[in-house]
Amino acid sequence: MPAGAQGDSVGSATTGFGELGYGSRFEPLLAPLHRGFLAVNRCTVPAIKAGLGPLFATPLTGSMMVLRTTGRQSRRVRDVPLGYAIGDGAVWCVAGFGRSTHWFRNIEADPRVEVILPGGAFYGIAEEITDRDAWLAGFRLVIGNIGIIGRLMVPDARSASDASVFDRWHALPVVRIRPTGIGRGPSDPGGLAWLPLLGIETLAVIGLVRWLRRR
């Protein structure tokens, strides 16, 4: 999610993403940020799918998952890395570019998704949270769990009143994903978590062979 700061005028800037609460200083940056995220995603998605998700779980970035949706027009599988939080037996995330966010539009058309977490994977049903109190709880949960960057992007999410947070940020959809079945994670049979270890294992085997030859 792009950054925002307290004191920015809200609702005074419009972009291709609409008025999202980031303020007049930051909303003009949404388009270049969006292009930048798309470029970074090309590396991030394969890394998480290969079992490197724990490497993205830092105080700076929070934890990352891969959300797998079905393209609303192409009907092809679409993968996107997202910050997330876990609460009440579900995974929560926020569409940081508003209702035009591609993965959000995909789940509006087909809520059946797959989620790849650093520790496993599952199938689920994604739903937009429309109840105000549930939205506030989910929004604060996610922002509080996506690291320092999240707190900089939405600085008042934890300290401001419910009314203030909702009035400013309600254009950002909150999504809850309830598990419906077990998916295949990168460390499960057929997964790719072994790839990063291949080099280490190869060196170990070579070292063992050399040691045996010297005996």
Residues whose CB falls within 8 Å of the CB of residue 127, separated by 6 or more in sequence, listed in order: 111, 175, 176, 177, 178
Q: Which domains are delineated in the chain?
A: 27-214 (2.30.110.10)
14 pLDDT band (50/70/90 cuts)? very low
pTM: 0.75
Predicted pLDDT at 50: 77
**What confidence tens digit (pLDDT) does each residue in 77-126 have?**
999 999 899 999 999 999 988 898 999 999 999 999 999 988 789 999 99
pLDDT digits (tens, 9 = 90+) for 149-205: 677 667 777 778 999 889 888 999 999 999 999 887 777 777 766 666 665 545 555
